[in-house]
Chain A
Amino acid sequence: MKAIWKLPNGEEITAEVSDGTNMMQAAVDNNVPGVVGECGGCLSCATCHVYVDPAWVEKTGVADDFEDAMLDVAEAERTDQSRLSCQIEASGELDGLVLIVPQP
């Protein structure tokens, strides 16, 4: 699938992501600044916080209870589009997914 990260400076990074890869790992693999993933995708740090583009919110689903609690720990302001990107798994259904990287 194709994924697009929109950076706070207006730039965009586009990459092909294999099905099954989580979107934190995909961001790290493609050097997307602002997505760190210190806990390796184990839901322990909130350093992979992104805003899902409103058009994609329905398809990416909602945060479970643990993710919901950890979103409170994120550095940038939390909104209805907030997700920890390690909890979003690439799949054909998400082809073209747009993720917005928060302002640091």
Chain B
Amino acid sequence: MTVWTPKDDGFADLTSHDTFSEGVPHNTFSRMRREDPVCWTDWDQGKGFWSITRHQDITEMNRTFDVFSSAQGIRMEDQTYEEYLARRTFQETDPPEHMKTRIKVAKAFSKPVVAGFEQDLRDLSNQILDEALSETDFDATKAIARQLPMLMLGRILGTPEEDLPWLVEKGDALIANTDPDFTDHVLDKMTTDEFRMMPFNSPAGAELFQYAKELMAHKNATGDTNGVLHLILQPDKDGNTISEEEFRNFFCLLVAAGNDTTRYSIAAGIQAMCHQPELLTQMQTGGDALWELAPDEIIRWATPALYFRRTLTRDFEAHGKTMREGDKVLFWWSSANRDDEVFDNPFRVDLMRSPNKHMSFGQSGPHVCLGMWLARLEVRVLFQELSKRLKSIEANGEQKFLRSNFVGGIKELPVRVKLN
């Protein structure tokens, strides 16, 4: 059995995507939390930045959105104002502007609306597992984790199933734009600035824009109410409708952010089952009490969004350091989620962990994940159905990680299963 442990020497280069190809450098984050919780990093590809690594600090700063602004970009990379305007979604706005878009889409992703998808998700999960578990040795990311969010995306968008592989491929090219397995235009190795006005600096953004535009026109023309997109196109109580630009940016966000995060949560959950065999028995016997809590623990373990960046609107002091107006500040959710001040045994999965104040959804701030109820439901249903069928599951070869310091994910997860 292969148990993954962090391999870094405690001083990993956080600016290097290659660092993360070896998995998240947790030894580095543990040291930073202990010794240097507000840590400056120089960067040869752009302006340097501060890293915030303790749970409590991120919680406090994240809610202080007037000082820690999202409205100059949310990734490490610098953007010109022109690029920012062309590429931004409502993720890259602050309240109250953020709220204007959020309230248009919040209902479609609310817990009660999302709960209506449960049976559909269960059917999809079983369809995926019938296929995947017909083999004993397989790549669990490809055969299971990638499939469910992709098929679910189709239900949300109300798009034909045959379009889905194309959409997911484009979504991957956007968000995994630093991994050559997912894009021909690797962000930190590009020699052109021709795509700089497109979402994620990627030509896939333009293709998704075009798809979204045609989809919106089609839905408007035919009164198509499949999926939840029609809810987003409805006028609000004052008669305001979403603009085409807002719609297409939101569409890109759904395809990119709503897809691989759940994929890598499922993959990390399966990884945990391989490393901690007792989890399978717990899933099989834990009942409702376990399933109320387990999805959040799996999502804590996964932490697919490694960090989001903010930009300071004024000088700010913390732990004896003065961060200056205009400085970039990274909130490392991946570090906060292993903070032993908040989590007992943070490097173990405890499916009954309660309370579980993980920050995988960016909790404690205005940008808390819009899709969190859907993510929790997908994770719960998939693991309920998977655990019912398994007698055992174990790692069966080397795990490979996404080459990205922004999205943490196991892109190859070879497993061997025995069925009940």
Residues of A near any B CB (own CB < 8 A): 38-46, 66, 69-70, 72-75
Is the Cβ of A39 less than 8 Å from the Cβ of B366? yes
A39: contacting residue among B107, B111, B112, B364, CB under 8 A: B364
**B106 and A42 form a contact (CB under 8 A):** no
Within 8 A of A (CB), among B222-267: 236
**A43 & B365 in contact (Cβ 8 Å cutoff):** no
Contacts of B160 in A (CB 8 A): none
A40 and B365 CA atoms in complex are apart in Å by 5
11 A–B contacts from the bound complex (CB under 8 Å): A38-B364, A38-B372, A39-B366, A43-B99, A44-B99, A44-B102, A44-B367, A46-B106, A66-B103, A74-B110, A75-B110
User: Judging by beta carbons under 8 Å apart, are B110 and A73 in contact?
Assistant: yes
B107 / chain A contacts, CB cutoff of 8 Å: 72-73
Verify if B96 is at the interface (C-beta below 8 Å from A): yes
Q: Given contacts A75-B111, A75-B112, is CB(A41)–CB(B63) below 8 Å?
A: yes
B100 to A, closest residue via Cβ: A66
> Chain B: which residue is nearest A39 at the CB level?
B368
Asked whether, in the complex, the Cβ of A39 is within 8 Å of the Cβ of B95, the reply is: no
Q: How far is the CA of A51 from the CA of B187 in the complex (A)?
A: 49
Residue of B nearest to A36 (CB): B363
Contact among B95, B112, B372 with A42 in the assembled complex (CB-CB below 8 Å): B95
**Within 8 Å of chain A (Cβ to Cβ): is B65?**
yes
**CB pair B112 A70 closer than 8 Å:** no
- How far is it, in angstroms, between the C-alpha of A26 and the C-alpha of B236 when the chains are bound? 32
Main secondary structure of the interface of A (DSSP, over half): loop
Known contacts A70-B106, A75-B111, A75-B112: A38-B361 contact under CB 8 Å: yes
How far does the alpha carbon of A20 sit from the alpha carbon of B361 in the complex, in Å? 27
Determine the chain B residues whose CB is within 8 A of the CB of A45 once the complex forms.
368
- Assembled-state Cα–Cα distance A70/B109 (Å): 12
Q: Which residues of A contact B96 (CB under 8 A)?
A: 66
- Say yes or no: B103 contacts A42, CB within 8 Å: no
Given contacts A40-B364, A73-B107, contact A66 B62 (CB under 8 A): no
CB distance B361 to A44 under 8 Å?
A: no
The complex places the Cα of A69 from the Cα of B231 at a distance, in Å, of 14
- Known interface pairs A39-B364, A40-B63, A40-B365; A46-B110 also in contact (CB < 8 Å): yes
CB nearest to B65 among chain A residues:
A42
State how many angstroms separate the Cβ of B273 from the closest Cβ of chain A: 27
Mask, B303-314, CB within 8 Å of A = 1, is 000000000000
**Closest residue on chain B to residue A42 by CB atoms:** B366
A43 contact set on B, CB distance < 8 A: 95, 99, 366
